Amino acid sequence: MQLKQFVNNPYSENTYILSDETGECVIIDPGMYDAKEQNQLVSYIKDNNLKPVLLLNTHCHIDHVLGNKFIYDQFGLKPRFHKGELPLLQAVPSYAPQQGFHYELSPEPEVFLEENGKINFGNSQLDIIFAPGHSPAHVCFYNKEANMLIGGDVLFYGSIGRTDLPGGNFETLINSIKNNLFVLPDQTEVFPGHGPSTTIEHEKRYNPFLKS
């Protein structure tokens, strides 16, 4: 499993591409906003002879969906996310101008993700982990073979996702982390929606929000 990270838009959001030896790849949380960011992603895909087959959103806050329309235009992929996030996506046009964004309207899914289950591409598989709290129906994506988690805005290095946005709930988020993420192997590397990667073990030991 190959992982490529791009840091995009004024919120320094992490966009990820996962690929394997077949050349098929998955684009997760495309936050590209300007032409430079868009070109970097397309160049990486072309330079590595990759074939995008899925567009996934962990959740639908603006910084994670800014590039959905671009990915659809380039590769014909509609996003997939949990149905509980749809109201957040539909609300983006109402607040994007207030945040100074020119927002290109994201297509809506034809297929929604469940609270659990598996996503297959190439020779690879991602487990869906339901982890609400930062948003109403946030999901994470776990690859057992590579022992990696694409965590969105649930768990950060030394911190956790905000819960003061619409649909956020602090207790729900803490429960999601402890019950759904901390059951993963300690050495699982967590690639969050912002900032550097971390591990499950590190956050169990040192995260001040998660001390037992």
Which residues, at least 6 apart from 139, have a Cβ–Cβ distance to it below 8 Å? 58, 59, 81, 82, 113, 115, 128, 129, 130, 131, 152
Q: What is the pLDDT of residue 166?
A: 86
- Strand intervals (E) in 103-164: 118-121, 124-130, 139-143, 148-152, 155-156, 159-160
What is the reported pLDDT for 212?
63
- pTM value is 0.98
pLDDT of residue 179: 98
Instruction: Domains for the chain: give ranges and CATH numbers.
Output: 2-92+111-206 (3.60.15.10)
Q: Which residue has the tokens 């590595």?
A: 48
pLDDT tens column, 135-187: 999 999 999 999 999 999 999 999 999 999 988 999 999 999 999 999 999 99
Please tell me the predicted confidence (pLDDT) of residue 69: 98
Can you give the pLDDT at residue 71? 98
What torsion do the CA atoms of 120, 125, 127, 133 make, to the nearest 10 degrees?
A: -80
pLDDT lower than 50: segments of the chain:
none
Q: Are 2 and 21 in contact (CB under 8 A)?
A: no
- Structure token pair of residue 95: 């607040």
Per-residue model confidence (pLDDT) at position 211:
80
